[in-house]
Amino acid sequence: MAKKKKVRVDMRKNRSKPPRPQQWTRGYQEHGFAEDATVQDERIRAKGDLSRRRTIIQDEAPAEASSMPSVDETAARPGRVLRVHGLYSVVETEDGRQFRCVVRRVLRTLATDERNIVTTGDRVWFLPAGPAVKAAAVEGGTDAATVEGVIERVEPRHGILTRASRGREHVQVANVDQVVFVLSLVEPDLKPHLIDRYLASAEQGGIRPILCLNKADLVDPVDYQPLIGMYSQLGVPTFLTSASAGTGVTRLRERLRESETVFTGQSGVGKSSLLNVIQPELGLRVREVSSVNQKGKHTTTTAELIRLDFGGWVVDTPGVRQFGLWDVIPEEVEGFFAEFRPFVALCAFPDCTHTHEDRCAVKRAVMRRWITESRYTSYLGLFAGETAS
């Protein structure tokens, strides 16, 4: 029998904050000043939100093992999360059956910097519906009648796409092989500084990056050959595509075959339109870009894992307005720029930041155009912790 151990974790209340009284002026006008009913003081933070800790019981495991609670694998079933809607996750098993699951409360209570404890693409263990499952659903604040399972454990992730969101980590998708960063050449206009941030996030998450420059039918492709050549020299496959004209779709489809791929990019760049052309049966919703501010409107509201007819999986994700890397210290940024690596060891100072120091080999390489100025500018922005939009 596995040995148990006690673990102290942060307490996080799984319920909403009490509402504050509203419409003070109207109440005074209608009922006057009720001194006996007036609260004399108010907590700045609700008592339930105080930073407290609680004890949970876990199986002892090696240091590198997952910190998630143990699960009875004879009663639980393995599955893959297809999509997440609020408190519910749709989990598919190997036989193709789908279950509407909630997350065990202890998982939500575990201290974490993540915005979402379960995300699209996660491999999980869940208990199918039964009396214990219904009780867990009620405890978690959900309607037991709509719950078909409870997620007991999330397996360790690999190949993740993540970004910073309101000071926390937002894992958009997990357990994928490659990511297609879709950028629009026009409507909305291309933002080259975003490309380097995207590539850095792929490097951070251990995913193969692919660049997709969409709406090529609205521009002269010759104008973008230098950009395509620059990233091709860095080993990043780059495609010019057009969902309306079908340009580049066949080559892109071959890249997706037998792989697990996530499509991501800003709103309005044409992610869903491309996927509709790649596999017409998907029927994903699309909308036009605003003619006023050149910003797209969210049509995809949640990341969804979709099986491709020709082999493989694809994830269509909601568009993002801002993109910031998560948990990256300035000293790590140089590692995201492959062309810096031959010069870093030649800098005069071992802790050179390549920003202001004299005798910096990276800055010298920029002056001699061995490193492009646009990539160096992107490095400076990432080093300073700026968020792109």
Note whether 177 and 308 are same-domain residues.
Answer: yes
- How many structural domains comprise the chain? 3
| Residue 220 scores a pLDDT above 50 | yes
Scan for tokens 């990256």, then name that residue.
Answer: 328
Least confident of 149-163, 249-263, 295-309: 295-309
How far is Cα 341 from Cα 347, in angstroms, rounded to an integer? 11
* pLDDT one-digit tens code per residue, 177-200: 999 999 999 888 888 888 998 999
Residue 181, domain member (yes or no): yes
Note whether 242 and 122 are same-domain residues.
Answer: no
Q: For residue 74, how many C-alpha atoms fall within 13 Å in the half-sphere facing its CB?
A: 0
- Find the helix packing angle between 192-205 and 373-383, rounded to 10°: 60
Determine the pLDDT at residue 30: 65
How far is Cα 199 from Cα 204, in angstroms, rounded to an integer? 9
Note whether 180 and 147 are same-domain residues.
Answer: no
End-to-end CA distance of the chain: 53
Q: Is 144 helix (H, G, I), strand (E, B) or coil?
A: helix
How far is Cα 25 from Cα 104, in angstroms, rounded to an integer? 43
DSSP assigned state of 157: P
Note whether 309 and 211 are same-domain residues.
Answer: yes
Strands (E), the chain: 4-11, 52-59, 77-85, 88-92, 98-103, 123-128, 149-154, 161-165, 168-173, 178-184, 208-214, 238-240, 260-264, 304-307, 313-316
Range of the domain at 219: 173-316
Note whether 118 and 248 are same-domain residues.
Answer: no
Note whether 192 and 238 are same-domain residues.
Answer: yes
Q: Are 344 and 325 in contact (CB under 8 A)?
A: no
User: Of 154, 187, 214, which one is at a domain's C-terminal end?
Assistant: 154
Does the reported pTM lie above 0.95?
Answer: no
* pLDDT one-digit tens code per residue, 16-46: 455 666 666 776 666 665 555 555 555 555 5
Mean residue pLDDT of the chain comes to 80
Mean pLDDT of 100-122: 77
* pLDDT one-digit tens code per residue, 303-317: 899 999 999 999 988
- The CATH code of the domain that includes 90 is 2.40.50.140
How far is Cα 30 from Cα 331, in angstroms, rounded to an integer? 62
Closest CA to 16 of 88, 120, 87, 117: 87
The residue type of 100 is R
Least confident of 58-72, 105-119, 121-135: 58-72
Most confident of 108-117, 277-286, 289-298, 299-308: 299-308
Residue 335, domain member (yes or no): yes
- Find the helix packing angle between 249-256 and 271-278, rounded to 10°: 80
Residue 261, domain member (yes or no): yes
Q: Give burial (CB, 10 Å; 0-12/13-18/19+) of 29.
A: exposed
Most confident of 60-74, 197-211, 324-338: 197-211
Residue 58, domain member (yes or no): no
Note whether 203 and 149 are same-domain residues.
Answer: no
Note whether 187 and 292 are same-domain residues.
Answer: yes
Determine the pLDDT at residue 319: 78
- The CATH code of the domain that includes 305 is 3.40.50.300
Give the dihedral sign, CA 351/356/357/362.
positive
Note whether 296 and 370 are same-domain residues.
Answer: no
Residue 343, domain member (yes or no): yes
Least confident of 73-77, 206-210, 294-298: 294-298
Q: Give burial (CB, 10 Å; 0-12/13-18/19+) of 356.
A: exposed
Mean pLDDT of 363-377: 95
Determine the pLDDT at residue 294: 44
Strands 304-307 and 123-128 come out as unpaired
Determine the pLDDT at residue 188: 80
Mean pLDDT of 80-107: 89
Note whether 177 and 311 are same-domain residues.
Answer: yes
User: Of 316, 350, 367, which one is at a domain's C-terminal end?
Assistant: 316
Say how many C-beta atoms besides its own lie within 10 A of residue 89's C-beta. 26
Determine the pLDDT at residue 62: 45
Determine the pLDDT at residue 20: 63
Note whether 286 and 178 are same-domain residues.
Answer: yes
Residue 164, domain member (yes or no): no
Determine the pLDDT at residue 251: 93
Q: Is 382 helix (H, G, I), strand (E, B) or coil?
A: helix
User: Of 266, 290, 316, which one is at a domain's C-terminal end?
Assistant: 316
How far is Cα 267 from Cα 261, in angstroms, rounded to an integer? 18
Residue 106, domain member (yes or no): yes
pLDDT range class, residue 52, cuts 50, 70, 90: low
Note whether 259 and 210 are same-domain residues.
Answer: yes
- The CATH code of the domain that includes 338 is 1.10.40.50
Residue 290, domain member (yes or no): yes
